[in-house]
Structure formats: C-alpha cells, structure tokens
Structure 1
C-alpha cells in the first residue's frame, strides 16, 4: 500500500522525470497537462509543485506554471560531500530494516536499469535509477534525512553525469555491489559501496570537463 498522499506521489513522479531528463532543466511544467496525464484534478498537482519549489526543483508560480531550475555548477562540490554523508546514513538505516521482499524489489529495479541501459534508452534508465535509490532509502525509515537528500538531488548534475557513455555500465556493477553488501547485512560494506557509487559518477563527470 502506498502511504504517500496524492501530492507526494505527484511530486515523486515529477522528481523522477526531472532527474531523468524527461523534463529538461529550464523547461516549463504545465499543471493542467500534468493533471491530465495522471488523471488527477489540478489540486494535487499544484500542491506537488509547491513541494518541489520548496525543495529547489522548480521555480515560478504554480498557478501559471513552473520551470525546472537550471543546474548550479558552483554548488556541486559541497553538495557532493553532503550526499556522501547523508546517503551513507540512509544505507546504514536500510541495512537495519531491509526485508527479503525489499531485496527482491531492488534487484528487479537493478535488472530493469540494466535492460534500459543496454537498449540505449537513457531517459528510462535514469528514471529507473531514481526509483532504485528512492526505494532503497525508503527502507531506512528516516524521512527527514531522505527529505534533505531530495533537496540535494535537485541541485546535483545527474543529467550531465548520465550523459557520459560509460556511466551506465559502471552503475550496473555498482548497484550489484550495493545489493550484495545490503544482502549480507554489513552496514560498513553497504556504506562504502554507496560512497564508491556516488564518487564514481562524480569522478567521471570531472574527467570530462
């Protein structure tokens, strides 16, 4: 059962599409079109856009429409360090609460990501990658930490990192490493695997600049 409100579900839908690049940075989000696509009234879409504006994903007036916020390159180093700190804590929490069903769900998402990458569909792969991390961090039962991480994601250059050709293949291996550590119940190994995953994407981006 989905415990989220309608506006939270819409906000998560929009976060995934912003991070995946389906809604490019600087593009306009029209609430009427989103509501029609999701078969919802305007109200939960408008409230979702307010949530995303507070997190830094969009800017503008939710009544007239909002725009996806451009990536701020100057903030990336600080944001990287905050991600490493907070996401490591979420992984530690996930180790404490993970179930066999959680592992199965994460493996299915890992396989879906690999198939999308092999098929050359980067937008789908990026969206699945978002769901993999979101599902993993939900397990930790640390909603405030996850909230701060989502704010960091709004400012992180996922679109630039995922445009690098070799990134998908590396990410597949790194997801597997995270899942092996999680399955073994080893918090230190799980935290290290996540740290390597985040740093790997960053190092690839920096090498291309």
Structure 2
C-alpha cells in the first residue's frame, strides 16, 4: 500500500520525469495538462509543484506554467561530495534494514533497467534508474537524509550523464555490485559500491563537459 499523499505521489512522478529527461531542462510544466494526464484534480498537482519548487526542481509561476530548473554547473563538484556523503549513508541503512522481498523488488528494477538499456529505450531506463535508487533509499528509512538528497538531485546534471553512449552498461554492472552487497547484508560493501557508482557517473560527466568545475 502506498502511504504517500496524492501530492507526494505526483511530486515523485514529476521528479522521475525531470531527472530522466522526459521533461528537459527549461521546459514548461502546466498543471492542467499534468492533472489531465494523471486523471487528478488540479489541487494535488498544484501542491506537488510547490514541493518541487521548494526542492529546486522547478522555478517560475506554478499557476501558469512552471519551468524545469537548469542545473548549477558551478556547484556540481560540491554537490558530488554531498551526494557521496549522504547516499552512502542511505545505502548503508538500506543494507541494515533490507528484507528478502525488498531484494526481489530491487532485483526486478535492476533487471528492467538492464533490459531497457539493451533495447535502446534510454528514457525508460532513466526512469527505472530513478525508481531503483529511490526504492533503496526508502528502505533506509532516513526521510530527512532522503529529502536532502532529492534537493541535490535537482541540481545535478543527470541528463548529461545519461546521454553518454557508454553509461548504460557501466550502470548495469554497478547496480549489480550494489545489489550483491545488499543481498549479503554487507553494509561496507554496499557503501563502497554506491561510491563507485556515483563517481563513475562523475567521470562520464567530466568527459562530456570537461570545462566545468
């Protein structure tokens, strides 16, 4: 059962689509169109957009059409360090709390990501990648840490990283390393695997945008 409010569910849906590039940087989000797409009233969509604006995913006027915010290239290096600190703590907590049924769910998401990548459906793969990471961090049961991570994600150039031609296979292998550690309850191994995963994406980013700090 999903215990999130409707606005939280809408916000998570929109985060996934922003981070996966379905809604590109600078594009407009119109609440009436989103409400129609999700078969909801305007109210939860409006509240979701307020949440996303507070987190930094969007800017502008949410009543007439919010704009997906650009990432801050100058702050990307600092954000990387914060991601390494917070996300390794989340995956550590996940390793300590994860159950067999959670592993099954995470494995299904990882397999779906790999299949989408192999079939060339990068948009779907990016969305599944978001759900995989979000599910791991939900299991950790550290909501304040997750909240700060979501703010960092809003400012990180995942769209540039995910556009790199060879990123998908590397991510498949890195997900497998994380899942192996979670399956055996190896919290230190899970932390190290997550660090490698994040740093691998950073290496890709530096290759496609070498002039940024």
TM-score under structure 2 length normalisation: 0.97
Aligned equivalents of 1:65, 1:97: Cα separation in 2? 40
- Does residue 117 of structure 2 align to residue 117 of structure 1? yes
Deviations 1:18-54 (A, max 9, x none): 0000000000000000000000000000000000000
Q: Equivalent residue for 2:44?
A: 44
Deviating more after overlay: 60-69 vs 167-176 = 60-69
Secondary structure, counterpart of 1:67 in structure 2: strand
- Structure 1 residue ranges, 4+ long, deviating more than 6 angstroms after superposition: none
Where 2:140 maps in the other structure, the secondary structure is coil
What displacement does 1:61 show?
1.6
| Corresponding position of 2:145 | 145
What residue number does 1:30 align with? 30
Distance 1:188 1:71 in 2: 31
TM-align CA RMSD: 0.6
Q: Distance in 1 between matches of 2:186 and 2:111?
A: 22
Q: In the aligned structure 2, how far is the partner of 1:2 from the partner of 1:78?
A: 34
Match of 2:173 in 1: 173
Provide the rounded CA distance (Å) in 2 between the counterparts of 1:70 and 1:152.
Answer: 13
Partner SS for 1:2 = coil
* Alpha-carbon distance between aligned partners in 1 of 2:116 and 2:170, rounded to the nearest angstrom: 14
Per the alignment, residue 19 of structure 2 pairs with: 19
Structure 2 CA distance for aligned equivalents of residues 73 and 38 of structure 1? 33
Task: Name the residue aligned to 1:132.
Answer: 132
The 2-side partners of 1:71 and 1:155 are apart by 4
Give 5+ residue unaligned stretches, structure 1: none
Q: How does 1:76-87 map to 2 (within 5 A)?
A: 76-87=76-87
Which residue does 1:182 correspond to in 2?
A: 182
Once the two structures are TM-superposed, the CA of residue 200 in structure 1 deviates from its matched residue by: 0.3
**Paired residue total:** 209
Distance apart, 1:207 and its partner CA: 2.1
Whether 1:102 and 2:81 are equivalent positions in the alignment is no
Deviations 1:165-200, CA, capped at 9 Å, x for gaps? 110000000000000001110111000000000000
| 1:156 is aligned to 2:156 | yes
Range moving further from structure 2, 64-73 or 15-24: 64-73
Structure 2: which 5+ residue stretches go unaligned? none
